[in-house]
Structure 1
Amino acid sequence: MDFGNRRVHNRLGPAPGASSSSSSSSSGKVCHHWRAGRCNRFPCPFLHSELPEAAANSSRPNQRDGPGAGGHVWRNPNSGGGRGGGSGGPNRWGRGPGGADVAPRNRVQDRPCKYFLAGDHCSYGERCRYPHTYCMSNSITLLTPLQGHEQVVTGIALPNGSDKLYSGSRDGTVRLWDCQTGQCAGVLKVGGEVGCMISEGPWVFVGMPDAVKVWNMQTQAEMNLTGPTGQVYALAVGNELLFAATQDGRILAWRFSAATNCFEPAAALEGHQLAVVSLIVGGMRLYSGSMDKTIRVWDLATLQCIQTLSDHTSVVMSLLCWDQFLLSCSLDKTIKVWAATESGKLEVTYTHTEDNGALALAGMPDAQSKPVLVCSLNDNTARLYDLPSFSDRGKIFGKQEIRAIQTGPGGLFFTGDGTGELKVWQWVIDASQT
């Protein structure tokens, strides 16, 4: 998947190993070549102070517990390993080697050029003091933007056996993108705002107002699943069931019937008081986040709620299972890490605080197979963090809020923002992380 082999390599800051605050920068002036993205002096006599400092090396997570162990990238908090322990145990969250608190890196103080971000002409050109880039990180590179949607992108999917990337938007369309050329290969009008989208095997599921639209990419079968009331905000698959989170607070479940070649209604999970906006399946558990500020834990065998988590103080926007942990983010400006106690109940083991509300979570390995968390915020950025230390790996900048993040093969991942633009990113080797 080379997306037309169009790559954008951003040169940001000093060579690997150079400090942004070295004694050689005693002049106190910021390098204008660096601001233009083309400084090649090492060491440079001027400051490269608008980039975060390289973090201290953190120990590599135990391979048995990290992404890809046993073929499973994400595992349920209750699915094995020490309860709340193991090599990535609670005592290591947000902490560096030896258990000492990680000294926070200097956060990126300056945003990229606002004219550049908006797609406008910057009259300063190479003399602009702000970087002309969509990311500030040595770990990722932008391959190409995909433009066509007219409203916010709410879902991205890569179905098995397809050479197309699918994206859904509130503009009422699903777009198909050719993975070789990066060109739009088709537009499907679905008849309503797309609230979410996932793929499972050859299936693509699209959440819409009062329905879930289903396509099979192998058989070309298409069907509408009715039953939801209001917008479907989230979808998940587990234990041979399809789950849909609805605006009226229910979670509807369907089971595929080979006899009828259709999805048959199986259950309605009730308990949330307001709209359910996030779902994730891990092991034999379904986790649901809601506007009622709670997370509910459901047993997939019985479809009964076995625990309600009430530590968030605002909408629980996104959920993620990583190793033996559950991660959640909220408009209350926190990312919480949950671990199971000896009794099997989940409790918060670490809280990471942001300056803005958190919108979406995604987890993936970087170019060196180290686990990384990507979290989008409502200040039009997405933050990249090492796990479990939460060491800063950089920022992605969107024209508007980044509502959709999807991982892909070969170190690719995708983001979609409020303007309707998708971006294709790839992890690259970061010398500071070796």
Structure 2
Amino acid sequence: MATRVVRRDAQRPSRTSLSWHRQTSVPSSGKVCSFWLAGKCTRNPCRFLHSEAALTTSYAASSNHSAPKQSHYSEGRVKKTQNKMCEYWVTGNCVHAENCKYLHSWSYGDELSMLTQLSGHKKAVTGITLPTGSDKLFSGSKDGTVRVWDCHTGQCTGIFDMGSAVGCLISEGAWVFVGIENAVKAVNIQTNADLTLTAPGGQVCTMSTTNEMLLAGVHDGSILAWTNSGTNSFEATASLKGHTGLVVSLVFGAGRLYSGSMDNTIRVWDLENMQCIHTLNKHSEVVMSLVCWDQYLLSCSLDQTLKIWAATKAGDLEVVYTQDEEHGILSLRGMPDAQGKPILLCSCNDNSVRLYELPSFTERGRVFTRQEVRTIEVGPGGLFFTGDGTGRVSVWRLSGDSSVLPAKSA
């Protein structure tokens, strides 16, 4: 890994800019200015109303009590909506304060809280990992850098320029693997071994490890495999062909490798003979993420469904449950809560991550980000990490006492 160290938020819109949006003449319309509600009106005077009192008057005078399209208000008394964050609060422009019916919080759920946000990446975060036995958190981004964060202080202790956009980032033991254009960078954080594994076919978009083997999904639809020789080196062993679109998700479980692709299919691979043994076609759009949990395979897609697969007596896989969402689903991860109950983290492209208790899919909470979350990592003590499109890594806690970010246990 090249070690060129780079040294370094866009300003948030100021709420003081709202102070000059005062009416200097009587409005010619009885309607409330929708741009004023969003903190964006630049007309002075404006022919629409600018005031909370006027807002109330406008509703009272309205025959159908309908709010402007950009208003947070609904008819009558304001009621809090418990599953959506106020988009204007995020930018510092919500004028409704405690009267806003949307959440002025980054999360909801009794056991859910944000610990901190780690800022520094200039573009979307595409990978987060906690290497075994380390007190460091690694994050990779489309800005072409990998950042190293101290788990106890939250400070960035190192920045490595990868030379091209980071498509994915994982770790196995002491090895950290970074997927970039036409290559995988492999670094051993104990021995400082620094390797470059050639991966022709374009951007490496996803990786997985199993049985001393590293597998990488590439833009051209191939899956490349390397075997760890045990002497700080990896040997290319196979190239799995079959997908007709780029491979965006890989997971190993129950003795099989599962791959999801932009060709809308999931392929099941036998790694002993390196052959595809099943092709699953139940999704209608790109398969974004896969999770193996006990005897089940979980898959999600931009088709707004999450599917649970189970093996039949004949050895095939069939869908035993489909969870429909209102938005496309981007990423899945599993973790236990403090009582050991299985919790599924489900990132959707409405800039939120839902926490579902399985198998009932009861929603336990939701976290919100400025842009969509493409990567989720799970840590010890109820911790989990999200990386969003703004380049921010957020640290969350579902349960447990985690005033600092401890090292991942072996």
TM-score (norm 1): 0.72
1:125 and 1:316 map into 2 onto residues whose CA distance is 40
Residue 389 (structure 2) aligns with: 418
Q: Do structure 1's residue 194 and structure 2's residue 166 form an aligned pair?
A: yes
SS at match of 1:115: helix
Residue 36 (structure 1) aligns with: none
- Conserved? CA contact 2:113–2:396, under 8 Å: yes
Residue 236 (structure 1) aligns with: 208
2:97 and 2:117 map into 1 onto residues whose CA distance is 21
Structure 1 segments unaligned to the other structure (5+ residues)? 1-45, 52-107, 430-434
Residue 147 (structure 1) aligns with: 119
SS at match of 2:143: coil
Q: Residue 146 of structure 2 aligns to which amino acid in structure 1?
A: V
Residue 180 (structure 1) aligns with: 152
Residue 268 (structure 2) aligns with: 297
Residue 117 (structure 1) aligns with: 90
1:317 and 1:131 map into 2 onto residues whose CA distance is 28
SS at match of 1:162: coil
- Conserved? CA contact 1:145–1:421, under 8 Å: yes
- Conserved? CA contact 1:146–1:423, under 8 Å: yes
Displacement of 1:126: 4.5
Displacement of 1:161: 2.0
Instruction: Trace 1:64-83 onto structure 2 (pairs within 5 A).
Output: none
Higher RCO (Cα < 8 Å, 6 or more apart): 1
- Conserved? CA contact 1:238–1:300, under 8 Å: no
Displacement of 1:139: 2.5
Residue 81 (structure 2) aligns with: 50
1:369 and 1:139 map into 2 onto residues whose CA distance is 14
1:342 and 1:395 map into 2 onto residues whose CA distance is 37
Q: Residue 325 of structure 1 aligns to which amino acid in structure 2?
A: Y
- Conserved? CA contact 1:249–1:275, under 8 Å: yes
Displacement of 1:113: 2.3
Q: CA RMSD in A?
A: 1.6
Q: Residue 202 of structure 1 aligns to which amino acid in structure 2?
A: A
- Conserved? CA contact 1:284–1:301, under 8 Å: no
Instruction: Trace 1:31-430 onto structure 2 (pairs within 5 A).
Output: 49-51=80-82, 108=83, 111-118=84-91, 120=92, 122-126=94-98, 128-259=100-231, 261-428=232-399
Structure 2 segments unaligned to the other structure (5+ residues)? 1-76, 401-410
- Conserved? CA contact 1:239–1:300, under 8 Å: no
2:300 and 2:198 map into 1 onto residues whose CA distance is 29
Deviations 1:67-101 (A, max 9, x none): xxxxxxxxxxxxxxxxxxxxxxxxxxxxxxxxxxx
Q: Residue 309 of structure 1 aligns to which amino acid in structure 2?
A: L
SS at match of 2:345: strand
Larger Rg: 2
2:384 and 2:298 map into 1 onto residues whose CA distance is 19
Displacement of 1:311: 0.6
SS at match of 1:182: coil
Task: Report percent identity of matched pairs.
Answer: 57
Residue 74 (structure 2) aligns with: none
- Conserved? CA contact 1:372–1:387, under 8 Å: yes
2:136 and 2:328 map into 1 onto residues whose CA distance is 32
Displacement of 1:48: 6.5
- Conserved? CA contact 2:120–2:392, under 8 Å: yes
Deviations 1:3-59 (A, max 9, x none): xxxxxxxxxxxxxxxxxxxxxxxxxxxxxxxxxxxxxxxxxxx997533xxxxxxxx
Deviations 1:355-376 (A, max 9, x none): 1111000110112211011111
2:221 and 2:139 map into 1 onto residues whose CA distance is 25
SS at match of 2:327: coil
Q: Residue 274 of structure 1 aligns to which amino acid in structure 2?
A: G
SS at match of 1:131: coil
1:264 and 1:355 map into 2 onto residues whose CA distance is 44
